[in-house]
């Protein structure tokens, strides 16, 4: 069994363990990305824009990992939904909270001088809805 923080290639997930590892890695990535998004939102609220470059770099790295794992989830959604239905249900709840937090962040970024950026995380938030819908259609 791989550790959830290890890279999982976009290949067929064919064991409950590998399904669990993927979902846990994705949840971990979302948690870390959410922490950065919340930090960014707070920085924007208080007007300390000088800290945004450091936050942006972390978001880009996590957004890439997130997009990779969403694609893997999408490609394996039928099996994953069947193999670990309870964990998938928990993941969906966390996913809804994640999306809500991204929406708050996007609204704050839109108010930032210069408007919203096309960082990895904001791009992930926009691309994410389509990826999630495709993953759900495959259940």
Number of structural domains in the chain:
1
Question: What range does the domain containing 77 cover?
Answer: 16-130
Tens of pLDDT, residue by residue over 95-124, are 888 888 888 878 877 876 655 544 444 444
The answer to whether position 1 is within a domain reads: no
Tens of pLDDT, residue by residue over 76-102, are 999 999 999 999 999 998 888 888 888
Query: SS3 string of 71-115?
Result: HHHHHCHHHHHHHCHHHHHHHHHHHHHHHHHHHHHHHHHHHCCCC
Neighbours of 35 (CB within 10 A): 13
Q: What is the torsional sign of CA 68, 9, 20, 61? A: negative
Q: Residue 59 is encoded by which pair of tokens?
A: 């978001």
Q: Residue 50 is encoded by which pair of tokens?
A: 């000088």
The answer to whether position 136 is within a domain reads: no
What predicted TM-score, i.e. pTM, was given to this entire model?
0.69
The answer to whether position 3 is within a domain reads: no
């Amino acid at each position: 069994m791989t550790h959830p923080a290890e890279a999982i290639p976009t290949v067929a997930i064919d064991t409950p363990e590998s399904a669990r590892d993927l979902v846990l890695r994705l949840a971990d990535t979302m948690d870390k990305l959410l922490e950065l998004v919340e930090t960014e939102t707070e920085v924007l609220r208080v007007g300390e824009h000088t800290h945004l470059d450091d936050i942006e770099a972390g978001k880009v790295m996590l957004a890439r990992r997130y997009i990779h794992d969403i694609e893997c989830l999408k490609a394996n959604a039928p099996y994953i939904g069947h193999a670990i239905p309870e964990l998938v249900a928990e993941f969906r709840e966390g996913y809804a909270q994640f999306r809500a937090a991204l929406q708050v962040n996007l609204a704050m970024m839109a108010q930032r001088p210069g408007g919203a950026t096309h960082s990895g995380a904001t791009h992930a938030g926009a691309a994410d809805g389509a990826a999630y819908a495709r993953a759900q259609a495959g259940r």
